[in-house]
Amino acid sequence: MSQPAPKTPWWNDRANRAILYQVAVVGLVVLAGWYLISNTLANLAARNIATGFGFLVREAGFAIGESPIAFDPADSYAKAILVGLLNTIVVAVLGVILSTLIGTIVGVARLSGNWLVSRLATVYVETMRNIPVLLQLLFWYALITEGLPEPGDAFKPIEGVFLSNRGLKFPTPDWSGLEWLVLAALALGVILAFLLSRWARLRQAATGQTFPSIRIGLALTLALPLLCWLLIGAPTAFDRPQLDGFDFSGGHSVSPEFVALLTGLTLYTASFIAEIVRSGILAVAPGQTEAALALGLKRGQVLRLVVMPQALRVIIPPLTSQYLNLTKNSSLAVAIGYPDLVSVSNTTINQTGQAIEGVAILMAVYLIVSLAISAFMNWYDKKTALVGR
Amino acid sequence: MSDPVIELDHVNKWFGAFHVLKDVSMRVGKGEKVVVCGPSGSGKSTVIRCINRLEEHQKGRILVDGIELTGDVRQIERIRKDVGMVFQSFNLFPHLTVLENLTLAPNWVKNAPMKEATETAMYYLERVRIPEQAQKYPGQLSGGQQQRVAIARALCMKPKVMLFDEPTSALDPEMIKEVLDVMVELAHEGMTMVCVTHEMGFARTVADQMIFMAEGQIVETAPPAEFFAAPKTERARQFLGQILGH
């Protein structure tokens, strides 16, 4: 005797419940958003504050200490914010590259069989990651501005290079407008080295012969600019920094704020990256190394062909987080006076009173930069992902 | 007997204070098949891992094909080219396809052109009866298939000796046979083999010599017929009673 299946009440149906929950969540979000916006608008109206982004085209009226592009107080607020963004990007890009290099070296060093090397790496990691990064920035800034001598007694590690509490000054080549040729040769060398490594891979597939493409590529990258420099007559003229009153003029300079920020962020983030690299290498089963060695591969080949490709899988997701952290931590620049995005936006907000717009721009810009980094790293992660599990 | 391919002469090894190998001596001639057995912790895996220097011995001499294993990195690399090894846990490279697993070492170590390496790889994949899996990744194969790929990977280097370290211990029972079949075929073709295994049926079929180890020492060496019918020592009798008892 079969009985008819008992009828489920509609509120107990899984599909119906899912829809119900989603409608409820969307409703709450819309309600909260409406509350925030209407409240803000009401308060702005009550205080007679004009809203809008019109202030961006007005004259900024303040100078910015350093900038990759020319900036004048007569330029607009929009350009000031762009300068801040560029300063942030310069620190973030250099910081990401340097902290990845240092982090990888320290991470591998911590796994070294050499007692001294691994202990030194451990001390570095435990010191750096356990001190707040803001303190580290203040420390480096104080060290540079208080610890280094006045420009008059600047350290001269090499002729023409000055290290003082005004930052690092170094000479720039002055080769009657032909400097770009040498730079172009350098770029050409890098491109050729890249092509060479591709050619070496194809040749190895065809003939089995390995080719020292890294060493030859490196030599090429160095030799081409040198050759070019000889061709334009081996000029030796430099624009040297000169002590001029209380500071230097001429040459190129790097400010104490920039050096302190870059050093602090790099060393701090590198300690985290070191641990990420170490965990990535340890995550590769020891049997992989043994199998590769048993096949006759050399130690370096085992690392490059077997261990690293597998370790990267584990390394990349947390590495992405560290890149994002470094980029966002660069906003601490405001504490030591480096004109990054936050610092410039603060000035802008103080002068114009457009706090909501200023903070909105800040948030939007950081969001865009962070999402761009995330997107790139996710793409790279997909490329290195494993198939078949 | 002609010159041995593998010769161990009073080999001793310690892990810290623990004496794992005590005066182990053995000779394996060309084409000979040796099965090493013994209770767990007896040092049998350590012995064969010393033969290609995955483990370092501290005292005594190990010669492979006339070359002594010392700290000399070049010598070790030369020996590893000629000694294939199959592990209990397969250890295939998960980021490479089956075919890439097989061509990696011939291409990088023996400098074989990819075309030639691929032909060799396909030949051995046919031999272990899974050519259709060439483009798959190890994670997509069953345990038995993975172990057969691992055997093919070692064979692609055209080794003079094959070492097997409990090749069937990590497999489900129904997959053991497909791996043993491949090993038996290999034995019949005259490959020199040293196998650590508890597969006594396999040992009876192919072994020229049984080596029984306990507590880091070789307790008994005998042809399989003799070893299984009348073990000379009480320790070996006990061991055989335990693994053949049911």
CATH number at residue A102: 1.10.3720.10
Q: Are residues A327 and A283 in the same domain?
A: yes
Q: Are residues A91 and A16 in the same domain?
A: no
Q: Are residues A269 and A208 in the same domain?
A: no
Reduced to 3 states (helix: H, G, I; strand: E, B; else coil), residue B9 is: strand
Q: Are residues A144 and A285 in the same domain?
A: yes
Rounded mean pLDDT for each run of 10 residues along chain A, 389 residues in total: 74 88 96 94 86 89 89 93 94 96 94 92 96 96 89 81 84 78 88 90 84 86 87 80 76 88 96 96 94 94 91 92 94 93 94 91 93 91 70
Q: Are residues A219 and A313 in the same domain?
A: no
Gyration radius from chain B CA atoms: 18
Q: A236, A261, A286 — which closes off a domain? A: A236
A35 within domain boundaries: yes
CA distance A299 to chain B (A): 10
How far apart are the C-alpha atoms of B26 and B44, rounded to whole Å?
12
A241 φ/ψ angles, rounded to the nearest 5 degrees:
-65, 135
The beta-carbon neighbor of A291 closest among B91, B111, B114 is: B91
A244 within domain boundaries: no
For residues B102 and B133, the answer to whether their CB atoms sit within 8 Å is no
Q: A236, A260, A278 — which closes off a domain? A: A236
Which positions of chain B have pLDDT values less than 70?
1-2, 245-246
Token pair for residue A388? 């078949």
Quote the pLDDT of residue B57: 94
Contact criterion met (CB < 8 Å) for B111 and A207: yes
Q: Are residues A229 and A132 in the same domain?
A: no
A230 within domain boundaries: yes
Q: Does A222 touch chain B (CB under 8 A)?
A: no
Q: Are residues A221 and A306 in the same domain?
A: no
Q: Does A291 touch chain B (CB under 8 A)?
A: yes
Quote the pLDDT of residue A387: 60
- Token pair 């909260």 is found at A32
Q: Nearest residue on chain B to A288, judged by CA atoms?
A: B91
Q: Nearest residue on chain A to B157, judged by CA atoms?
A: A295
Structural domain boundaries enclosing A229: 175-236
Q: Are residues A124 and A273 in the same domain?
A: yes
> A166 Cβ partners below 8 Å, 6+ apart?
A151, A247, A248, A253, A255, A256
Contact criterion met (CB < 8 Å) for B137 and A386: yes
Q: Are residues A298 and A378 in the same domain?
A: yes
Quote the pLDDT of residue A229: 85
Reduced to 3 states (helix: H, G, I; strand: E, B; else coil), residue A282 is: helix
A59 within domain boundaries: no
| Other beta carbons within 10 Å of B202 | 24
* Distance set, CA A321 to CA A276, A328, A371, A376 (Å): 11, 11, 11, 12
Q: Cβ contacts (< 8 Å) between B116 and chain A: which residues?
A: 208
Q: A236, A260, A280 — which closes off a domain? A: A236
A55 within domain boundaries: no
Q: Is the pTM of this model over 0.90?
A: no
A67 within domain boundaries: no
* Distance set, CA B88 to CA A31, A285, B150 (Å): 61, 13, 10
A265 within domain boundaries: yes
A61 within domain boundaries: no
> A292 Cβ partners below 8 Å, 6+ apart?
A301, A302, A305, A306, A307, B93, B105
For chain A, what is the domain count? 3
The beta-carbon neighbor of A210 closest among B93, B111, B114 is: B111
Q: Cβ contacts (< 8 Å) between A209 and chain B: which residues?
A: 111
Q: Are residues A119 and A208 in the same domain?
A: no
Q: Are residues A160 and A294 in the same domain?
A: yes
Quote the pLDDT of residue B125: 96
Q: Are residues A179 and A300 in the same domain?
A: no
| Other beta carbons within 10 Å of B85 | 27
State the complex-level ipTM. Answer: 0.94
